[in-house]
Structure 1
């Protein structure tokens, strides 16, 4: 797992999590422990950030390259949908990403030096808006995280936020345009580094809250782009930087920070303190308090996963978090655990499905690749540089910085057995039979007997440090190579060098013999894959344009050859070699070791990126046979189930078992005695209770009889009262009926009188209405006649006005024509006059020119 990637853990569904590892993104099934891979882009430098859409349909992967790129994948099919690139991001990488609530937009925070925020309409492969994360006059600094608000604004848009060094800024997004808002923190921004923030879902409409944490452990609550509350760090966690925040439903949020601190904040009713730290836990990762970098909670809010900066991942059940104490909450590893630094060695045994790895994180781990678990993990005081697994699966050799140790793999421990004074051993290898091993000590290869630990011989001749050692298939020869460019073959019966090939331009890193021993293949710093014949003459070589090759391995089937590169890829060459190969993306750094299982079914690679990759090796025959061939192969493999246990451990366990059996016997006797005593006490209590309840029952019976007699008397009394009440009510009813009958007769007579009055009024109204109608019609006729005469007069007046208008128009036209004729005549007269004057002036001018010429000649003479 890449612990330096922002938001490097996410749930794809209830049982599958997503995290980056090497140059891939891994979909890890928590129950079956199976994995699917989203491979990195060829040529990219590694994964920098990932994001999953709210509907769990889309996965965004940001990778470093000459032009930083984002790739969108369909999480259901794992097919690539879009590749997003733009030069406007101003960086070779993205630091953080987040999908909009509907999954149609993606906001991405670019890395150094510009730290721009890019809004992608990714379905159109369009960067619709690029905005600096800081205002123009703000001091430069790093930005850490961007996040979309889960809420839709009133205008149908969204809000995104960015936090970082002296920075917390919100952006309003509408129609593909992103506009920065004024800082919500104001002066609080200056001098503070805001390391994480998160938007919180709510069950209160209009309460859109975002919590922002700083490196001092304080939390600010922002609502509607204003700080509404500040939650200072408690005394225990003062100065503890918070690196990640995730919402815990509508109940609050969970924060992770330095020294493995996991903090649970719950919502309060007090507006001045809307959230309160109610629970806190500490994750002790591999015996040290590493920092929590990222958190993820599943959709049911039952499980939490925390990833650490040492590449470990821990799970915590949240089902009973409300009632359990912090010391009762158990953190479990999400998987078998991971190395936190580069892996320097890997090896396999034959008798068990085990692989061992060692790392500069000072740990040695033994993995079961069938069950996908870690069998043993042990941390040491020194870094491990190399490791070798005995074919039996019961011993390993580990080259530490100060010594080489032979260790026994016990049932629950890795226990040193023998030490050899070889410092920082870069390579140690068991022979195929397991009775000898060869260890590199500087430029000398020392061969030891496995069972007596006796140094049976030394191979001297290299002028530089030896990097690789390989045994021949029959264990009679050893081939070595190193930084001096020399490849030597040694005969073990007399420890003499029999063949050699020296190329001082190449520092070799790995050798591998062909299955029949006729060829040997080597790789090194010259970026060549070299083939040597039995006499170690160079027969052919193939160049590698992807950087230097670091490792090489050949299956016993002899159908292919595998080579690893310093860029983290694995190449599968056709064998015999013709230069053709297929390349597979896996690691994000140089591959340091590569091994095949004894049946050539699996290929194991380790790298400086702390990952162990396992490839399923498919030959042509297996591909044709399909599942049938795979089943037949499994049927041939019978792994040993024996474990190594020391006599001392057995004696200690037997002694412990006897002690426990004695304790059990004593506890049984004590329990039986206590049980008898409890029975006696209970019998006495039962007798006392029986006597007491019998007396109480008799008293209750007497009381019941008295109450029953009292009840009968009260029933007779109330029956008499009821009869009297009925008679009284009947009498009152008759009186009321007589009274209301008289009132009805009076009202009927009154109604008849009113009806007569109404008829009389109707007759009067009809008569008045007729008179009014006649008067109205007469007035209308008079007005109609009067206005008809007026209308006729107006029409005649209008005719006269039109006639006057036409006459005036004719007179105006005649006057205009006369004026035009007079003006034309006057113009012609003036024209003739001025033309005459102009002619006269011209004649005067000519005469004066002549006189002037005569005068010039006269003065000249």
Structure 2
């Protein structure tokens, strides 16, 4: 059989006395403390999520939510106060960190606050020596503390500057100080002279401005920590206060009633007359909201940089369900909060009530607005009575706040409640759910539960009835009158029985139809017969004061709890079983109807689930429930819910399930009814009211019909007027349209005449142009013939010059080849000799340097191993550098040789090029001849060609302009890319250096680990040797004992005994020194073993610590390496992209600068595979291959 557990389902009530006990998680969810938990309540879907408090906590003191609405911090008071940070985005409100004050003795934090970036958390302790404690909470690090001297000035609030993570504000009685966190400490930045002012709250309006509220209703504005001015609430009050203190205020008032801002000359004067205090204040985007006395909130909006105007006054509504004078509108407001979108304003009061207002829907309606209940109306004091019924899902509670409330535990709503003039001590619901029995301080009242009221119809003279209960059938009820239990009939209201026997007050009773069990403070548990009034069984333990009693599920045994810290099961005047508790006493109990589990409530507010039948040992499950002692608890008849109430004023609904999460199966099939009671007078009044409303409706219908007919007539008349107006407008429009049409025809005739004149003029100009161009063509033709003759003469002269130049060129080429071949042989010989000598000297220097380095390395290895590793890596780096220098020198020499050979090749190519040029010139001459023959075409074709060429020239010029613009854009794009490449190259070099340093540290750590392991092995060997020595000595001693034992048998033979003793002496006692050594050996061995064990333990601890440090360093290096590799890959991609862009730019530049014949070559090179050109990843070898290809063609 699986064990039964309880799960928090819903709670009614708010925990008061907690600073900032209401905040928004999102637009629909609020967070508030209730019982011993924080509750996330969705106001739309009406579900709750519980965040359980600390088990060792004595209660909450303050709470706050981070600016990003993710983390919730709760402070608990106790012997050592703590602050717990919860993650609200986690489904169960997972604990993130538990913060404490370290070694300092702190019992409670009265206020806590998150920084704007949610990284820091500040805590304020209670006086007289109040203290500030700053945490970097995610790393569980206490950053700074600041303790003040004993000033006897209590502080109330601490807050962060929302625009600066390092600035704080603290306010209290005669205290208003600004602090700043810098250089690892909290330092006071400014102090205002406000010794006589009691600040209750403050809020930040900007980076330098703070508005604070006082206990006398003043709003004071501070700028950079200095008191600047005051915001008065009303002109009347400002005038009265100004009359009392003329030096405080300026002598003018506004007639419009707007808020005034007045300069303050002296802040140390006494406060004015007693006025409503400002207990809560909060800023928002448009201004700020503050409480103004009991039950009132003012909204202020900012008019300019320093002025504020009161825009709205919001009040808590009157309590319609109170029978007398109500205290609802006199509630003091503790907390104000806005939703994230500032659409909803919510408040909490000192009587444990939550109210809200939709600002987006209500602000435009009227000046004075009223709050609405955020959830339900809760109890504001200790709950003294609890009862359920079987026919309806109702639960009744009564409290010392003089109210009786009826809740529905299925729909989780407050069905009905009423406040009375007297305190209610006990309550009992009739099984039908239609009547209720309430014990007041003056008498016991039986009342009807109507649809909207709780109405008394019978009173009984039972004063201060602490316990009452109906029977299962509802035909009678029992009430406690001091130490007497009185049983009444529900039908006749007669006192049937008076059960006397208790010597003290009866603390609780449980009524069955035939029996009643009671317990009292006198330590007695009695079972009575309700038919005869006789006492059937009793159990008296005078040392125990019982607080709870109940029948078992089968009514055969009685379960009771009391102050002796035990749960007792009693049957036939005997205690069958006792389940001892811990240091916490049981205060109430409830037994499930299935008989599987017993729930008990404790004085600390926890709930325990105990198996039934009761276990022998302490076996139970404890749940965090309330913040005060559990006063009453009951299980519903279908075993689905457990209901508990406490002195903290909260009603907590638990869902009873098994460990698989399934609800308990009940044998009872309970059908809930929906009938309600209503009196005849109420019904007649309602029917009369309905008839009146019906008549009123008919009158309104007739009046509406009459009004509709009047409106129809008015509308018809207006329609006729509009139609007449429209007809007139149509006529005027038609006449204007006709006039416009005639004017348009006139304009068309004029346009036709003008166009004919223009055509004649243009034809005449065209003929004149044709004549002038024909004359110009004749002149140009004559010029062309002259130019053709000049061209023929120039051709003949050029052929003569070409022949002479060819002869000279051939002769010069032969001379140059001979001269350069001789020079080349000389240079190659000289270069070979220089190269050999240089290589020999370089290699000698390298060998010498290497020998010196090796000698230095040997010396360094002898002195210090760590120094050797560093120097060895440095020498390796030097050698690499020198090798790279030598490689570069070799490459440069090889390059010079290649340059010489390249010069020879260039000369040969130049010769070939000149020959090719001669051939091309000859072909050009032939082309020119063909062109001259082609020039004999008609002048019209040439004119056409000239026009085409001009157009092409214009297009080329446009193309050139576009290409130049694109070139400039590409240059502008490449410049920042080149800068980024250089910066990232520097970053890569820095990261490589850091990687080298981490490699060095890793190698050093590995070396230390190997040394420690080696030392550990040697210690183990020595231990083995010493243990072997001890074993040898033990065997030696054992042999001696056996030989002595054998000598005992010769005790009657002296000679034989003497011989044996001598033999033993010669065998075991050889030298006196050996005997002394043997005597000292065990002690020395033990001493050495202890010393070896201590050293081995120390080495193991050092090895574990070094391994942990090595793992941390290695993990950090791996993370950094991963980030570096990712950055390098991104840099490579960007570098590749920049190179491709630069290549494209170069190609376009080449296209613009070189003639058209080079275009195919460039295009072919652009699309050629870079691997064929020797272009790879840019290191020294690939760069050399690229330049070799470039110069060698």
Verify same fold: TM over 0.5: yes
Conserved? CA contact 1:151–1:208, under 8 Å = no
Q: 1:561 aligns with which of 586, 594, 598?
A: 598
Which is strand-richer, 1 or 2?
A: 1
Partner of 1:246: 282
Q: 1:409 aligns with which of 438, 446, 449?
A: 449
Q: 1:540 aligns with which of 574, 577, 583?
A: 577
Conserved? CA contact 1:91–1:114, under 8 Å = no
Partner deviation per Cα, 1:594-646 (whole Å, 9 max, x = no partner): 1110122211111111111111122xxx444x45x56x769954321222222
In structure 2, the residue corresponding to 1:458 is in which secondary structure?
strand
**Alpha-carbon distance, 1:320 to partner:** 3.3
Give the alignment's TM-score, normalised by structure 2.
0.56
The root-mean-square deviation of aligned C-alpha atoms, in Å, is 2.9
Q: More displaced, 23-32 or 586-595?
A: 23-32
5 Å matches for 1:322-341? 322-327=363-368, 329-341=369-381
Partner deviation per Cα, 1:755-791 (whole Å, 9 max, x = no partner): xxxxxxxxxxxxxxxxxxxxxxxxxxxxxxxxxxxxx
Q: 2:475 aligns with which of 435, 440, 449?
A: 435
Conserved? CA contact 2:317–2:370, under 8 Å = no
**Alpha-carbon distance, 1:703 to partner:** 5.1
**Alpha-carbon distance, 1:423 to partner:** 1.3
Partner of 1:501: 539
1:644 correspondence with 2:681: no
Q: 1:485 aligns with which of 513, 523, 526?
A: 523
Aligned mates of 2:419, 2:686 — CA distance in 1: 24
**Alpha-carbon distance, 1:177 to partner:** 2.7
> Per the alignment, do residues 417 and 237 of structure 1 end up closer, same or farther by CA in structure 2, a change over 3 Å counting?
farther
Conserved? CA contact 1:260–1:292, under 8 Å = yes
**Alpha-carbon distance, 1:112 to partner:** 3.4
> Per the alignment, do residues 178 and 490 of structure 1 end up closer, same or farther by CA in structure 2, a change over 3 Å counting?
same
Aligned mates of 2:496, 2:594 — CA distance in 1: 32
Conserved? CA contact 1:520–1:536, under 8 Å = no
Give the alignment's TM-score, normalised by structure 1.
0.77
Conserved? CA contact 1:216–1:233, under 8 Å = no
**Alpha-carbon distance, 1:243 to partner:** 1.7
Aligned mates of 1:695, 1:617 — CA distance in 2: 84
In structure 2, the residue corresponding to 1:181 is in which secondary structure?
strand
Partner deviation per Cα, 1:733-768 (whole Å, 9 max, x = no partner): xxxxxxxxxxxxxxxxxxxxxxxxxxxxxxxxxxxx
Partner of 1:653: 686
Partner deviation per Cα, 1:823-844 (whole Å, 9 max, x = no partner): xxxxxxxxxxxxxxxxxxxxxx
**Alpha-carbon distance, 1:682 to partner:** 2.1
Q: More displaced, 691-700 or 649-658?
A: 691-700
Partner of 1:32: 45
Aligned mates of 1:76, 1:236 — CA distance in 2: 49
Q: 1:142 aligns with which of 154, 172, 182?
A: 154
> Per the alignment, do residues 216 and 712 of structure 1 end up closer, same or farther by CA in structure 2, a change over 3 Å counting?
farther
**Alpha-carbon distance, 1:537 to partner:** 1.8
5 Å matches for 1:751-770? none
Partner deviation per Cα, 1:477-520 (whole Å, 9 max, x = no partner): 11112122222111112111222222222222210111122221
In structure 1, the residue corresponding to 2:157 is in which secondary structure?
strand
Q: 1:198 aligns with which of 177, 200, 203?
A: 203
Partner of 2:294: 259
> Per the alignment, do residues 726 and 97 of structure 1 end up closer, same or farther by CA in structure 2, a change over 3 Å counting?
farther
> Per the alignment, do residues 695 and 109 of structure 1 end up closer, same or farther by CA in structure 2, a change over 3 Å counting?
same
5 Å matches for 1:614-629? 614-618=653-657, 622-624=658-660, 626-627=661-662
In structure 1, the residue corresponding to 2:724 is in which secondary structure?
helix
**Alpha-carbon distance, 1:166 to partner:** 1.1
**Alpha-carbon distance, 1:63 to partner:** 0.7
Q: Which has the larger radius of gyration?
A: 2
Conserved? CA contact 2:466–2:507, under 8 Å = yes
In structure 2, the residue corresponding to 1:683 is in which secondary structure?
helix
In structure 2, the residue corresponding to 1:642 is in which secondary structure?
coil
Aligned mates of 1:411, 1:272 — CA distance in 2: 54
In structure 2, the residue corresponding to 1:469 is in which secondary structure?
strand
**Alpha-carbon distance, 1:528 to partner:** 2.6
Residue ranges of structure 1 left out of the alignment (5+ in a row):
202-206, 729-861
Conserved? CA contact 1:257–1:293, under 8 Å = no
**Alpha-carbon distance, 1:216 to partner:** 2.5
Q: More displaced, 659-668 or 316-325?
A: 316-325
Conserved? CA contact 1:90–1:114, under 8 Å = no
Aligned mates of 1:108, 1:348 — CA distance in 2: 44
Conserved? CA contact 2:38–2:52, under 8 Å = yes
> Per the alignment, do residues 194 and 403 of structure 1 end up closer, same or farther by CA in structure 2, a change over 3 Å counting?
same
In structure 2, the residue corresponding to 1:319 is in which secondary structure?
helix
Conserved? CA contact 1:147–1:160, under 8 Å = yes
Aligned mates of 2:676, 2:482 — CA distance in 1: 35
Conserved? CA contact 1:436–1:447, under 8 Å = yes
**Alpha-carbon distance, 1:330 to partner:** 4.6
Conserved? CA contact 2:177–2:225, under 8 Å = no
Which is helix-richer, 1 or 2?
A: 2
Conserved? CA contact 1:90–1:110, under 8 Å = no
Partner of 2:94: 79
**Alpha-carbon distance, 1:4 to partner:** 1.7
In structure 2, the residue corresponding to 1:640 is in which secondary structure?
coil
**Alpha-carbon distance, 1:226 to partner:** 3.7
Aligned mates of 1:127, 1:84 — CA distance in 2: 9
Partner of 1:105: 120
Q: More displaced, 430-439 or 641-650?
A: 641-650
Q: 1:167 aligns with which of 165, 175, 179?
A: 175
Partner of 1:422: 462
Q: More displaced, 427-436 or 546-555?
A: 546-555
5 Å matches for 1:307-706? 307-327=348-368, 329-472=369-512, 475-533=513-571, 535-577=572-614, 578=616, 579-618=618-657, 622-624=658-660, 626-627=661-662, 636-702=669-735, 705=738
Partner deviation per Cα, 1:66-103 (whole Å, 9 max, x = no partner): 11111112212212222112266654111111111222
In structure 1, the residue corresponding to 2:674 is in which secondary structure?
coil
Residue ranges of structure 2 left out of the alignment (5+ in a row):
1-13, 239-274, 320-325, 762-1193
In structure 1, the residue corresponding to 2:294 is in which secondary structure?
helix
**Alpha-carbon distance, 1:441 to partner:** 0.8
5 Å matches for 1:291-310? 291-310=332-351
